Amino acid sequence: MVTVAIIGKTNVGKTTFFNAATLLNAEISSYPFTTREPNEGAAYVCDVCVCRELGVKDNPQNSACIEGWRYIPIRLLDLPGLIKDAWRGRGLGTRFLSVIGQADALIHIVDASGSVDEEGRLTKPGSGNPVQDVLDIEMEVERWMADIILRNRQLIAREASSSSLEEAVSKVLSGIKAAPSHVERALIKADLEDRPIELWDIDEAVRFSATLLPLIKPILIVANKMDLPTAEENLEMLVNFFNDRLVAPCSAEAELILRRAEKMGLLHYTPGQEKFLLREEARLTPEQWRALDYVEKRVMARWLRTGIQQALNTVVFKLLRMNMVYPVADESRYSDNHGNILPDVHLLPDGSTPLDLARTVHTRLAESYIMAIDAKTGMRLPKEYKLRHRDVIKIVTQPRARPKR
């Protein structure tokens, strides 16, 4: 399953984002370092389902279809907060960073309202510097990676003499899934491919890590707390400064309010949509009224959406370039063997073939693979066909041999 980890300075709203996306109840507070152990939960990414295009009523099994939108589960990890100089042991230090090794991509949440001070405490909105916060926190991750490399310099040099530098570095960084091809690209980009690793100093190791990090873990910057007025100017600053990266605005608190109110049956709200509608029968307390009025005025009327769903979708569909692919057993009815219409959808990286889809569904399907059919056109697909977003695919397999009597 696609795994996304949330990183960021303490108190920026990581757990609020996590709870809003997973509807879990991990502890949130205005104190720094509230989260002391990583949290894990299921969140969803969504896009238009093929059911309407095909004119069928689907009954999803591994995902959900809500008003023509297909929601697919992903794994979300919420990490304890970082702070500048965490590598020296400030705050909770960097001991939870190894968790990012499990992630395919990172969401880097920053407090766009500038309400978190140097020590990670909440302070007057507008006094913090979100651009500096992003740089500081990414520097902590890079320092942590650089430290692993420097501590293992002799080992890497020994290994490299019998294989290659990229193989040896990749082995030491296997915990964060750095493939030799990533390491090779980063060595060239950082202009370090000819420099003996025994001689690397801290600046060189950090330069290499900073080049490698986005290659192995694409990072979305999420500008949170957009409901606070000071966030608008800072968002512009973030977008201008990080002009070659993606920055997504959001209000995690607004999303949490809406999803909890929806769960309590007070309103209709589909994550990612522009509107929420109060249920006629809903009896709101004055406090609930105030909270929903705040969300309407400060978030929906201004930004159209809370931004949580868009952030998750951007990570999976834009940064990781995943495609939604629907495997079916009966290509004329778009169903599985039990008659479920469009039962499953899988997220596969761009460039995947029908055989990759077969492997994702079941090893047996891959082992007995003969060919694939595009269920929308009925056409047989070439072996090297690159699956496209929203393809519906029938995998044709060899019939199973009957056991001899």
Ligand X SMILES: Nc1nc2c(ncn2[C@@H]2O[C@H](COP(=O)(O)OP(=O)(O)OP(=O)(O)O)[C@@H](O)[C@H]2O)c(=O)[nH]1
Q: Look at the block and give the residue holding tokens 């029968």.
A: 281
Distance CA 39, CA 22 (A): 11
- 314 binding Mg ion? (CB under 5 A): no
Give the nearest distance from C-beta 40 to Mg ion in angstroms.
13
Give the nearest distance from C-beta 15 to Mg ion in angstroms.
3
Distance CA 138, CA 253 (A): 24
Segment near Mg ion (CB under 5 A); pick from 8-16, 89-97, 161-169, 396-404: 8-16
- 16 binding ligand X? (CB under 6 A): yes
Distance of CA 115 to the CA centre of its chain: 25
User: Which of ligand X, Mg ion, none does residue 235 bind to, with CB < 5 to 8 Å depending on kind?
Assistant: none
User: Which of Mg ion, ligand X, none does residue 63 bind to, with CB < 5 to 8 Å depending on kind?
Assistant: none
In angstroms, what CA-CA distances link 339 with 58, 331, 346, 358? 10, 11, 19, 20
Exactly one of 14, 70, 217, 346 binds ligand X (CB under 6 A); that residue is 14
- 12 binding ligand X? (CB under 6 A): yes
In contact, 288 and 232? CB cutoff 8 Å: no
Mark 17-36 with x for binding to ligand X (rule: CB under 6 A) and - for no binding: -----------xxx-xxxx-
In contact, 40 and 75? CB cutoff 8 Å: yes
Q: What is the dihedral of CA 316, 210, 187, 220, to 10 degrees?
A: 10
Residue 288 structure tokens: 């609930």
- 13 binding ligand X? (CB under 6 A): yes
User: Which of Mg ion, ligand X, none does residue 228 bind to, with CB < 5 to 8 Å depending on kind?
Assistant: ligand X
Distance CA 373, CA 393 (A): 6
- 84 binding ligand X? (CB under 6 A): no
Q: Which of residues 227-246 bind ligand X (CB under 6 A)?
A: 227-228
Q: Which is nearer to ligand X, 63 or 230 (CB)?
A: 230
Using Cβ positions, the residue closest to ligand X within the complex turns out to be 81
Give the nearest distance from C-beta 120 to ligand X in angstroms.
7
How many CA atoms are closer than 13 Å to the CA of 50, on its beta-carbon side? 23
Q: Which is nearer to ligand X, 159 or 227 (CB)?
A: 227
Q: Which of residues 30-49 bind Mg ion (CB under 5 A)?
A: 34-35
Residue 179 structure tokens: 């493939």
Give the nearest distance from C-beta 60 to ligand X in angstroms.
31
Q: Which is nearer to Mg ion, 26 or 139 (CB)?
A: 26
User: Which of Mg ion, ligand X, none does residue 230 bind to, with CB < 5 to 8 Å depending on kind?
Assistant: none
- 94 binding ligand X? (CB under 6 A): no
> How would you classify the pairing of strands 267-269 and 247-249?
unpaired
Mark 160-189 with x for binding to ligand X (rule: CB under 6 A) and - for no binding: ------------------------------
In contact, 145 and 213? CB cutoff 8 Å: yes
Q: Which is nearer to ligand X, 13 or 218 (CB)?
A: 13
Please choose, from the candidates 60, 371, 14, the residue with its C-alpha nearest in 3D space to the C-alpha of residue 224: 14
Segment near ligand X (CB under 6 A); pick from 51-59, 138-146, 225-233, 365-373: 225-233
> Is residue 276 within a helix (H) or strand (E), and if so which, with residue range?
strand 276-278
Give the nearest distance from C-beta 144 to ligand X in angstroms.
17
Give the nearest distance from C-beta 81 to ligand X in angstroms.
2
Distance CA 246, CA 226 (A): 16
Tell me the backbone φ, ψ of residue 251, rounded to 5 degrees: -125, 100
Using alpha carbons only, give the angle 191, 192, 193 rounded to the nearest 5 degrees.
Answer: 105
Q: What residues make contact with ligand X under the rule CB under 6 A? A: 8, 10-16, 28-30, 32-35, 80-81, 224-225, 227-228, 251-253
Residues that bind Mg ion (CB under 5 A): 14-15, 34-35
